[in-house]
Structure 1
Amino acid sequence: MKIVTRSDLPSLRRSVDQGTEEQRRAVKEIITEVKSRGDEAVFAYTRQFDEVSLESLKVNPDEFDQAYESVDGEFVEILTEAAANIRSFHEKQLSQSWFDTSSDGTLLGQKITALDAAGVYVPGGTAAYPSSVFMNVIPAQVAGVDHIVMCTPPGEDGKVPAGVLVAARILGITEVYKAGGAQAIAALAYGTETIPAVDKITGPGNVFVALAKREVFGDVDIDMIAGPSEIAILADESAASTEIAADLLSQAEHDARSSSVLITTSAVLAEAVNNAVEEQLNDLPREDIARQSVKDYGMAVVCPTMQDAVDTVNEIAPEHLEILTSDPYQQLGKIKHAGAIFLGPYSSEPVGDYFAGPNHVLPTNGTARFSSPLNVDDFVKKSSVIAYSEEALKKNVDKIARFARLEGLEAHARAVEKRKERWK
């Protein structure tokens, strides 16, 4: 892990991965094929990319039963409790329609309506993610989305990981399809004979998933273009170096391109964390991935003052931010840009990943400057409601017509003036 001063700090804000020209071309071809050939194309790409031949795309009830039988009861209890925590948090986000009336009888308001259908992508590959099921499905359910479907790549045995299916069943999700990559995104966007089209697609994935989401955006909505995982830790000399190292590695093990950054006012702490990271890497099961991540994107930034350290955090705008200082609440108000903020030594980042309740689908690549975690509002739309009274129109019709003519829109002006005939 490199140790640098703030004055030597390279730019840590990475642009969203645009993929190579070859990758973009391949994704466009996959989407075109799925749109025209439907299930046939999804089966073909599953054979090509996942190296498995499927008889059916949809997970059947027996597979759900087998998944439940293959996991122990304690695991189910943990998942059930985590789901309850996540649901409780998201229920507090639920917005209500509102209406406001004025003395002249005009009614103005906002109507909240849930999306009709949402599609959740749960990644496969090097790990299985029941937590992704919870974080994407629960806010949609709380919002009131009636139809929620899930796509996830099959394993070499043609099955979906048991933990993913158990998580889906806990939430009452029965439509799970064995489809991954760009072909799954295309199927969710445009529909096939088996997989229904949806209004919004959420969930992380590899570069092909990200490129496909970018490509279908506009025909459907998406949550975000997620990049590799990131963690920044703001710490002073009061923090424990071994705990910081463990938390940095919790993100480094995700992906060789994950970013793990310590930002501190203590050069002594930076050196101790560097040593602890090296020591803890040695017996980490995903050592190769984590070590490459630390080598390429791991860093300790030593700042002269805490304000400089806070400014560095805001410049990075990290996905996850831990504040491990003697008084973390004192720094909280100074943080402008971070996806999720973890305060104090007992709020290790995985607490938020799995159990506390807030969503772990977070803005990456510095996009926390302008975007938010996945939440209930992502699964609703808002309609303005205008019920103008006769009294209000009489009062304002000439102003509205004048405004329209200032913009050169005569038909707009005449439309409101037409109502004057009622008053002759």
Structure 2
Amino acid sequence: MRVKETDAQVRETTAGIIGRVRTRGDAALRELAVDFDRQKLAKIEVPASAVGSALQCLDPALRSALERAARNIEAVHSASPPMSVEVEPEAGIVVGRRPDALTRVGAYAPGGRAAYASSVLMCAIPARVAGVEEIVVCSPPAKNGVPSAIVLAACAIAKVDRVFSVGGAGAIAAMAFGTETIPAVNKIVGPGNAYVAEAKAQVSRFVGIDSPAGPSELLVICDESSDPDTVAAEVLAQAEHDPDACVVIVALSESYADRVASAVAAAIATIERASIARDALKANGALLVARDAAEALEFSSDYAPEHLLLAAVDAPRLAAVARNSGCVFIGESSSVVFGDYISGGNHVLPTAGAARSYSGLGPLDFVRWTSYQRISRDAAESLALDTARLAEAEGLGAHSAAARRWSEAR
């Protein structure tokens, strides 16, 4: 159902691309655009005027939808800003932790099979909420040599500072190490295909990344209370992303599993990207049956999906005990596609089991924490002897001597 390890060919190809960009900069990016995007780039950076023009020329209804999504994303992410904490565990001892926004962040907006304007909003708006000074976006060029108009429009709405017409592992390398045109960033965020995810992993020794966010995943726990056609629609919505997308259905009875299978078979013929969805389901899809909701949730916790849809009786109760998923969608009307675009939660989520230890993107991902301590002279005298005893127990005499000075300060 899920590739356990990155394919050796993906690792090797990605490493080669990173090496080319790191050593040859813009020249390598131009070559990669020809090799992978079939584009001879006139310019790597998209002029600010083109970004603004894309927004002005966008269909008004589509612009309204993007702006609604942006408002919801900002509202949700503004509700959990990074906050300073200061504690006084004893008189005269102050220990604090302060969030400092990153100076420059790079966001990746996938292209190729589809244009992901939503990823621009999901990455850039939380960064703005956190106070990041400069946000740059890389996205693959379309046939006109620049990212799609809707991606550029989203950059304008999200107040992105600079946009570059580069994609894939080369874009990740450029943001990690910098080129003549693209500045190096403090952190790289955003989803992508297997090569983008692998590139983020390989550069993570040199630059921060959000989480392993590779091909889309969905796990649905469903029973007779939900409409099989609705479950099928959710399955195909994620399967159409990419042949590497992974979709698992856990039905709570054999009879309901049969109904869902029939619904998927009927619906797949009606979608435009049917061949992609079929490839994904064939390679990475599964239809399982669990004895009960408890067994289904145990499997889900083990599997750690990017998206978990609970289309079953008493979904809120199940959600309260669900663990290890990027985002839980509670009830069949809580469509994952709403979360993909417009409900306000972030769609940049951990994949490939990383939800066991990683969380979805948010404002906390765009700060680093400065810890500090302030200790008065009286408190230093009080701490001195116990600190010296602990240091001596560890065999660190200079530590002990430094502490004891304060017991003798008066």
TM-score by length of 2: 0.95
Q: 1:44, CA displacement in angstroms?
A: 2.3
Asked if 1:84 corresponds to 2:45, the answer is no
- More contact order relative to length (CA 8 Å, sep ≥ 6): 1
Distance change in 2, residues 1:190/1:232 (3 Å): same
Q: Which residue of 1 aligns with 2:48?
A: 61
Q: Which residue of 2 aligns with 1:401?
A: 388
Q: Which residue of 2 aligns with 1:349?
A: 336
Distance change in 2, residues 1:65/1:375 (3 Å): closer
Asked if 1:291 corresponds to 2:292, the answer is no
Q: Which residue of 2 aligns with 1:367?
A: 354
Determine if contact 1:31/1:183 at 8 Å carries over to the other structure.
yes
The one of 286, 291, 305 equivalent to 2:292 is 305
Determine if contact 2:307/2:328 at 8 Å carries over to the other structure.
yes
Determine if contact 1:263/1:313 at 8 Å carries over to the other structure.
no
Tell me the distance in 1 between the aligned counterparts of 2:139 and 2:98. 34
Asked if 1:210 corresponds to 2:197, the answer is yes
Give the secondary-structure state (helix, strand or coil) at the position aligned to 2:321.
coil
Tell me the distance in 1 between the aligned counterparts of 2:401 and 2:125. 48
Q: 1:157, CA displacement in angstroms?
A: 2.2
Give the secondary-structure state (helix, strand or coil) at the position aligned to 1:35.
helix
Tell me the distance in 2 between the aligned counterparts of 1:102 and 1:291. 59
Q: 1:70, CA displacement in angstroms?
A: 4.1
Determine if contact 2:194/2:215 at 8 Å carries over to the other structure.
no
Q: 1:100, CA displacement in angstroms?
A: 2.3
Q: Could you tell me which runs of 5 or more consecutive residues in structure 1 were left unpaired when the two chains were aligned.
A: 1-11
Q: 1:385, CA displacement in angstroms?
A: 1.4
How many corresponding residue pairs?
410
**AA at the equivalent of 1:418:** R
Q: Which residue of 1 aligns with 2:133?
A: 146
The one of 207, 222, 238 equivalent to 2:209 is 222
Q: Which residue of 1 aligns with 2:264?
A: 277
Q: Could you tell me which runs of 5 or more consecutive residues in structure 2 were left unpaired when the two chains were aligned.
A: none
Determine if contact 2:222/2:310 at 8 Å carries over to the other structure.
yes
**AA at the equivalent of 2:47:** N
Q: 1:25, CA displacement in angstroms?
A: 3.4
Q: How does 1:124-143 map to 2 (within 5 A)?
A: 124-143=111-130
Give the secondary-structure state (helix, strand or coil) at the position aligned to 2:280.
helix
Q: Which residue of 2 aligns with 1:266?
A: 253
- Please give the per-residue CA displacement for 1:158-204, whole angstroms capped at 9, x wherever unaligned: 12101100000011113001111222111111111211111000112
Q: Which residue of 2 aligns with 1:111?
A: 98
**AA at the equivalent of 2:12:** R
Tell me the distance in 2 between the aligned counterparts of 1:292 and 1:102. 58
Between 238-247 and 219-228, the greater mean CA deviation after superposition: 219-228
Percent identity over paired residues: 39
**AA at the equivalent of 1:197:** A
Q: Which residue of 2 aligns with 1:9?
A: none
Determine if contact 2:42/2:145 at 8 Å carries over to the other structure.
no
Tell me the distance in 1 between the aligned counterparts of 2:274 and 2:403. 69
Tell me the distance in 2 between the aligned counterparts of 1:138 and 1:154. 22
Q: Which residue of 1 aligns with 2:301?
A: 314
Q: Which residue of 2 aligns with 1:253?
A: 240
Give the secondary-structure state (helix, strand or coil) at the position aligned to 2:45.
coil
Q: Which residue of 1 aligns with 2:39?
A: 52
Tell me the distance in 1 between the aligned counterparts of 2:256 and 2:339. 25
Q: Which residue of 2 aligns with 1:18?
A: 6
**AA at the equivalent of 2:280:** S
**AA at the equivalent of 2:284:** Y
Q: 1:102, CA displacement in angstroms?
A: 5.4
Tell me the distance in 2 between the aligned counterparts of 1:102 and 1:229. 45
Q: 1:273, CA displacement in angstroms?
A: 0.8
Q: 1:272, CA displacement in angstroms?
A: 0.8
